[in-house]
Amino acid sequence: MPTQNYSGDYFIKLITELYNKTGTGLPSADMSTLQRLVDEERKRQEAYSTWLRVVDGKIDWKNVDLPFSPLYSELLAESKATIEVPISGAFKHLMIVGSGRTTEAAYYSTVGARFNGDSGANYRYQYDGGVNATQTAAQGTGATGMVVGNMAGASADANAVGCLFAILPNAFGALYKSSMSVAGAHQGTAADMLVSTLVGFYQSTAPVMSMTILPGSGSFVAGTAISVYGLK
């Protein structure tokens, strides 16, 4: 009998003791079935116990078949010029969510992404949106990173932020890569705001194996939060 007893182990123990005392027990076929069920229960319980996190007794996300997996998530405790995100796992798409500000000397700062260490002029972008009440649009070629959003810059009021939500569909396929984003930022107490929808392109057929997230210039400041997820 295993040293760690389960409910079925206890019943088998009682049945065995009853047989030893009275000579009456379950037919061998029934005992075999009961033992099989107990063994299956034990395997399930032992597997379940390995899924739990020691710190809080909850099932770790790595042991759950979710349609997404967190690859990176951090609330910055200090300024950081770049955020390096290693990509691993069987995914089809990537998602970026962020909010914060940068040290760039401007009211607004772009947020870019580079892939596989490629800082060459292999990226393109186009955006459409508005600054205050004025509509604006532009496009660019030969960029050194894919523009995925905006944050507030150093010229914005204290505590002003920008936010972004970006999807990179088919980031692991053998075609050029693309992104779709919505983003915005505000100066603060002044009535000065920016909103935009963006599309970015990376002219490479290689699967995305790493990502570098960086501002247009300067660094992300403490209090900025960025998360990256892999989607199946």
pLDDT per residue as tens digits for the range 158-196 = 999 999 999 999 999 999 999 999 999 998 878 889 999
Whole-angstrom Cα distance, residue 88 to residue 71? 8
pLDDT reading at 36 higher than 90: no
DSSP secondary structure code for residue 176 in this structure: -
pLDDT digits (tens, 9 = 90+) for 68-80: 788 999 999 999 9
What is the pTM (predicted TM-score) of this model? Answer: 0.74
Average pLDDT over the chain, rounded to whole? Answer: 88
pLDDT digits (tens, 9 = 90+) for 82-102: 999 999 878 899 999 999 999
Domain ranges, ordered by start, for the chain: 7-51, 66-231
Confidence of residue 138 (pLDDT cuts 50, 70, 90): very high
User: According to DSSP H, which parts of the chain are helical?
Assistant: 7-22, 28-51
Higher pLDDT pick, 213 / 63 = 213
Quickly name the fold that domain 66-231 has.
Jelly Rolls (2.60.120)
Whole-angstrom Cα distance, residue 131 to residue 133? 6
Q: What is the DSSP string of 75-139?
A: E-SS-BS-EEEE--SS-SEEEEEEEEBB--SSSEEEEEEEETT--SS-EEEEEEEEETTEEEEEE
CB proximity list for 55: less than 8 A, separation 6 or greater: none
pLDDT reading at 2 higher than 60: no
